[in-house]
Amino acid sequence: MTVSPTVAGKIKAVKLAIFDVDGVLTDGRIIFDAHGTETKFFDVKDGHGIKLLMRSGVDAAIITARESKVVQLRAEDLGISLVYQGMKDKKAALENISARTGLPPSAMAYMGDDIIDLPVLRRVGFSAAVSDAVQEVKEAVDYVSGRPGGKGAVRELAELIIKVQGKWDDVMSQFLR
């Protein structure tokens, strides 16, 4: 998890981390049962990574093109209040988040996996992709995780941000009491 000094500077400015859902917080699979009930698989370590980020002072948000009750439940479970679902224009959601929080996009990170994420990835201060993202996304970002979506990529990014911002020891001390 080493980054260049330029990328480290971008990470140090991050005050809000935004995540796509399908393919980032999940492995991209969407399962419907015979009654139309949707199921998604979330990694508990990714969720804990988001909680660690929040404990370190970096807030979290979600922007997703799909709408799902499951996503709302997961966001509530993690304490994420900035949740934008059904956003085919993710850049509009980013602008709304900026207006609501007062943060410029340069103080935000975004992790995506597909071409619909490119407008946001190109606008935020620090951009990241999961290891199994499409090639166009991997070529456009500051950082590509060593892990795939839904399998630790978010946790990896969270730890990277916390460590580069010099907050890892403070976060860890909460667990070593």
Residue extents of the structural domains in the chain: 5-173
> 47 pLDDT exceeds 80?
yes
Task: Please count the other Cβ atoms lying within 10 Å of the Cβ belonging to residue 142.
Answer: 18
Which pTM does this prediction carry? 0.96
The rounded distance, in Å, linking the Cα atoms of 128 and 137 is: 9
What dihedral angle (degrees, nearest 10) is formed by the CA atoms of 47, 52, 55, 59? Answer: -60
Q: What's the pLDDT tens digit per position in 6-46?
A: 999 999 999 999 999 999 999 999 999 999 888 999 999 99
Tell me the CATH number of domain 5-173, given options 3.40.50.2020, 3.40.50.1000, 1.10.3720.10, 3.40.50.2000: 3.40.50.1000
Q: Is the CB of residue 128 less than 8 Å from the CB of residue 144?
A: yes
Count of H helices and E strands in the chain? 8, 8
